[in-house]
Structure 1
Amino acid sequence: MSSSVKWIKLSTQMFEDEKIRLIESMPEADTILIIWVKLLAQAGKTNASGYIYLAENIPFTDEMLATIFNRSLPTVRLALRTLEQFGMIEINDDHTICISNWEKHQNVEGLEKIREQNRLRKQKERERKKLLETSQDSHVTVTQNHATDIDKEEELEEEKEKKKKKKKKTSPKYETCDITLAELLYNRILKRDPKFKKPNLEKWANDIRLMRERDERTPEQIEYLINWSQENSFWCSNILSASKLRDKATTLILQIKGEKDKKQNGGYPNERVQSSSRSGNTGEYNNFSL
């Protein structure tokens, strides 16, 4: 962690982002947005390409964040869940938090410059120690061996940094329902565009799995979203992958519920909510949870 980072960059247009606007419509909007800014600041302090942790291999727990953010534990957990569902943060299997699209929020070149300055400072300290030890030690062999150990330590540190940048989340195997839903989305798109290139259905299935496990959507709800989006004149041309379906799920749910509210109040929207081709339940979206 680099203690010399004293600033982070915030866009003047951040409150025009559709995700921020959706969060502002929620009951705990102010607290969630404050925690979002605190996470950005914490990532700046860590200065590790958007990752947030107490120390290497020691991720922050929800309880730790509640303490340092001075917020209740349920509030912190609600904020983390909301920000993850909106694709603003990622939480790895080892519970390490990472800011999505970190370069969007920060002057990456400036932070990289700070890391390089720290690396050079450490290198100069090591060289100074080597010179001091050389002057005190009359045995050249011992000095050379010690220098070799320092070089190896430097190489190991650089290797760790490279692995950290290339770190990927390991995903458990998807289930049958996930590949079935992935194929449903592909077939619905293919029906409209016979020349649509066949995607990596296993990757799509894994995105469906994340919707079930991380976002807590049921297979029936996911199937409903697939059918509804592909029957909607706007979303059918925008939802062309399982990852996009997951990213826009909350927006879709809000629109579905909004159309139902208009119908209940006597105002009919231009697009009628269509039922799931399998369940036939026009009220399935009532069970969605934000």
Structure 2
Amino acid sequence: MRLINRYPGPVGRVALAALPFVLVGLVYAQASAARLAENPQDRILPSFATLGGTAWRLLTEEDRRSGEILFWGDTLSSLSLLAAGVGIAALLGLVLGVAIGLIPLIRSSLQGFVAVVSMIPPLAVLPILFITLGVGDTAKIALIAIGITPFLIRDLTARTLELPQEQVVKAQTLGASTLGIALSVALPQILPRLISAIRLSLGPAWLFLIAAEAVASDSGLGYRVFLVRRFLAMDVILTYVAWITLLAFLIDWGLARLSRWLFPWAEARG
């Protein structure tokens, strides 16, 4: 039997999925053990025991000055900014994507503009945002929105243009207005794609958030990572990086489950 036709069973799928993580863990453990054997005070590659102790301390110990657990405060701050930025981008992407894809006049006016704007490196705009909006949360939310909105618009525009024209013609024959066609014909078919596009844009959204928090902030996951780097506190940095990765995975997993629940027909068609 050709390799291309071989599929793993349930146990095999779990084992194959876990294999890369196990290999990375083994490589890290070996590298950490080698450095610690040479220098027990080495802080670049802390042992798993040190990482576990640090994680427990971060998750449970209160800050002496504020009396709060900074880890959870940083998490809440970052997730709030991420949700606001992605939410604004999703709304703009949906409205403009459907409008550009459905209405020729708007497409002629905005499609080229969106294509040009999407080429601007969002991080290059960060100083402008800080100057015009200040160094507060507004600038960080704006960076996330500016960074991923053009992608969402272009993706949803393409999906709208792929809608069967027969559906649009039939809706017009039945007397539907442009708004009615957008709401009853385009929107139900675009929403599954919107969730998929948001999932694809989460990586860049996290990048913009961490970058903005690193430059100017007094809380947040990115702020904490760049704050402790000067002390070479790799145990803290790695704990925060692992937590950010887990949060990103859980958000992506939740959106995938939401899409399957709301739009099972789209999953079946895919």
Q: What's the TM-score once normalised by structure 1's chain length?
A: 0.27
Higher relative contact order (CA 8 A, sep 6+): 2
More helix by share: 2
Q: What's the TM-score once normalised by structure 2's chain length?
A: 0.29
